[in-house]
Structure 1
């Protein structure tokens, strides 16, 4: 990336590998191995690692070993509750503005998923992110997309998020939210988004119970 320092590039690469699951939670890493893989010296690498440590993505053990931190189920549910509050309010606010082309396009995409179009986890995760960001933008909220991106990156590191293999219910809920926003019905938009996150939590609970 143009203008990017070695430490910034290392940080981006390491964090992306962790968020995307290429470097799983509880992985044990070493500075020597990371420096060799990234092709950089330890000075910029340590700057990148310090940033990841400050963000709670990794832990540095007393023996110098680097451990990728896991995200607990409790933390995941906390994120779901936080997003429920923020995004329900955003959906209600979005209903007070003219419908956006972005949401209209996403409705078609979500309707296809809702009627059975097969997709994998990574593809739907990307579509899901586009939907939630589009609602925040439709609400004319400038700070919320950044908050959502941060919270979604944390949630994705929880292995429970990767247990789904069908997304028809989620997509159908997205369509209901978009329709309420398009009608200008703030109360219905708030309720639909709130219920969506109730279902998200319930699906996680069912998966977690089944995994025990």
Structure 2
């Protein structure tokens, strides 16, 4: 198993802090502060920052300052539309193959959110990921989880989705997809997944109005 280089470690740590909201969008990053905090020299740090620039996590302004990029609402909506197409097809295909242990486990975790009790965003984010990954794997689309991870990493940087603690609606939609897959009803599975993403789009726009 290969070990991370210093630059890879630095890129991962900065990326994680941005993804988790510890470094806010539109923050200005300085090499000096980052090098001191991460305990590394400027050379591996600059390599790490170059990676994050290519990933469009940060951008270098005309004056040379490094800015943490804010996720535009248009980008979020584009990701939702892309995922709708991919994951609707995955749900249809999963229903053709049938139920899996991973989907059963995901349904059990989603049931906890129906109690209408406040929940932590980070906890739901993990369970939400497990649901979407389980559908992709049930569809035997082994490249899809990696594609979803890339898109979800972008969404996670958005502040819009972080200020909420009730995920009952999302859980009900997830469970409806799993139930349709269990019933081997491909049309229903696709329709429920499409409904989920259309509701996701509406929720995102609603959250934006309240933000």
Confirm or deny: 8 A CA contact 1:30 1:64 kept in the other structure. no
Which residue number corresponds to residue 127 of structure 2? Answer: 127
Q: How does 1:58-207 map to 2 (within 5 A)?
A: 58-207=58-207
**Aligned-pair distance for 1:210?**
3.0
Partners of 1:68 and 1:130 lie apart in 2 by 28
Q: SS of the residue aligned with 2:59? A: strand
TM-score norm. by structure 2 comes to 0.96
User: Could you tell me how far 1:117 is from its partner in structure 2?
Assistant: 4.6
The structural deviation recorded for 1:40 is 0.7
**Residue pair 2:113, 2:166 contacting (<8 A) in 1 also:** no
Deviations 1:5-47 (A, max 9, x none): 1011011111111111111110101111111111111111111
Q: Is the Cα contact below 8 Å between 2:59 and 2:67 reproduced in 1?
A: yes
TM-score, length-normalised on structure 1? 0.95
Structure 1 residue 164: Cα displacement: 2.1
Partner-residue secondary structure (3-state), 2:97: coil
- How many residues matched? 211
1:31-90 deviation per Cα after TM superposition (whole angstroms, max 9, x unaligned) = 111111111111111111001001111011233321100101111111111111100100
Counterpart Cα distance in 2 of 1:210 and 1:12: 32
In the alignment, the residues of structure 1 paired with residue 19 and residue 161 of structure 2 have an alpha-carbon distance, to the nearest angstrom, of 12
* SS across alignment from 1:17: helix
Once residues 78 and 58 of structure 1 are traced to their aligned partners in structure 2, the CA distance between those partners, rounded to angstroms, is 20
> Structure 2: which 5+ runs fail to align?
none
5+ residue gaps, structure 1, are none
Q: Quote the Cα distance in structure 1 between the aligned partners of 2:203 and 2:61.
A: 35
1:98 CA displacement:
3.1
Distance in structure 2 (CA, Å) of the matches to 1:161 and 1:107:
22
Q: Secondary structure at the match of 2:67?
A: strand
Equivalents in 2 of 1:175, 1:140: separation in Å?
20
Structure 1 runs, 4 residues or longer, greater than 6 Å off: none
Matched-pair contact (CA < 8 Å) for 1:95–1:183: yes
Distance 2:102 2:122 in 1: 21
Deviates more, 1:63-72 or 1:183-192: 63-72
Q: Is the 8 A contact 1:30 1:65 kept in 2?
A: yes
Secondary structure of residue in 1 paired with 2:165: coil
How far apart in 1 are the matches of 2:113 and 2:130?
14
RMSD of equivalent CA atoms: 1.3
Matches of 1:117 and 1:90, distance apart in 2: 31
